[in-house]
Chain A
Amino acid sequence: MERRLGWSNIRCKRVAGLLVLLGLLLASSAQADGPVLSVVSPYSLEETVANLKRSIAAGNFRFVRESPWHGGLLRTRRGAAHTLYFCNFTLAQRVIAQDRRFSQFLPCRMVVSEHRGRVLIQAVDPLYVSRMLRSQRTRADCARVRDAYLSLMEEATL
């Protein structure tokens, strides 16, 4: 017996299908820019740390401190990950004045680590945080910080 579909049934399925597609598109765009900036380094971990310190000094940032990533909570061993802390005080003041929640992310920091033979430089993406916190006022400055981070990472891995 031939099944005849009514107009309302077909329309219903098309609308539902479009809604599914829209939902999935929204989901994929939300996931497209993740919260972490990451660059692979062709150098050893120690060389990458040294390069990154030089990039920070040459850039518009003040170096604050360096420490083992785990802060001494794990037994020290060769090749342990390092965190470098640094700051552009002018930019930091401006961002905090716009949204004090960003004090959470000061000073700026990057982690240099080695996994399965690959050395990585990683940092939390400030622009992602600005979007996640729906902080429109900080958007422009967070975009600047993000660009600065990527420049530091690229310089350190050239």
Chain B
Amino acid sequence: MSRWLWLWVVGVGMVHAGQVGVIESRCDAPLPEAMMWLQKVVDRQGYQVMQVQPVGEALAKRGYEGEDFKVLFIGRAADFAEVEASYPSLMPFLPLSLTLAEEGAGTRLTAMPPVANGASPPLSIKRLMTRWRADLTRMARDFNTCP
């Protein structure tokens, strides 16, 4: 009986395999200052800021009336090389992105770690995905301590 129960647990566990959520955090500074702080946080984690996309502004020009937000694209050269060589299915998820949105007088950060497109990516990719999640979580935590 215990062997069958164990198999059932594994089966259900597979349902949740690769199911990851969004990482969120908040900083009490307004968006421009929060963006500057985030770029320092990103740099400390060893990532390069590749692009800041002012999506909120583009939408506002077309009548969007919600809060302003920007998307920050970040990356590391070694990560791009590894994904391209070992697991091209992750390419649509790179560069990693963090979104900053106005929230009252402060700013909210949102990030979503990449999700594997299949049950068994190579070990090097699994490690990379674990590291991305840990790095984004750390960035979110440090973002929360903005001056």
Residues of A at under 8 Å CB distance from B?
Answer: 12-13, 16-17, 19-20, 22-24, 26-27, 30-31, 34-36, 38, 64, 67, 69-74, 81, 85, 87, 89-90, 92-93, 96-97, 100-101, 103-104, 106-107, 109-111, 113, 115, 120, 122-124, 129, 132-133
9 A-B contacts (beta carbon < 8 Å): A16-B7, A16-B8, A27-B15, A31-B17, A71-B51, A71-B75, A73-B80, A93-B62, A106-B55
**Pair B55/A104 contact, Cβ less than 8 Å:** no
Chain B residues with Cβ under 8 A from A106's Cβ? 53, 55, 71
Which residue, B7, B21, B71, B92, has most C-beta atoms of chain A within 10 A? B92
Among the listed B19, B20, B51, B112, which residue makes an inter-chain contact with A104, where contact means beta carbons less than 8 Å apart? Answer: B112
Within 8 A of A (CB), among B86-143: 88-89, 91-95, 97, 99, 101, 110-112, 115-119
Chain B residues with Cβ under 8 A from A115's Cβ? 88
**Pair B64/A93 contact, Cβ less than 8 Å:** yes
Given A35-B115, A73-B76, A104-B112, A120–B11 Cβ distance below 8 Å?
no
**Pair B11/A27 contact, Cβ less than 8 Å:** yes
**Pair A96/B110 contact, Cβ less than 8 Å:** no
Report how far A71 CA is from B75 CA in the complex, Å.
9
Report how far A93 CA is from B10 CA in the complex, Å.
41
Name the residue on A nearest B69 (C-beta): A103
**Does B58 make an interface contact (CB < 8 A)?**
yes
Name the residue on B nearest A19 (C-beta): B8
Which residue, A13, A35, A64, has most C-beta atoms of chain B within 10 A? A35
Report how far A91 CA is from B94 CA in the complex, Å.
23
Given A13-B4, A23-B14, A89-B62, A104–B111 Cβ distance below 8 Å?
yes
Chain A residues with Cβ under 8 A from B48's Cβ? 73
Which residue, B7, B11, B18, B67, has most C-beta atoms of chain A within 10 A? B11
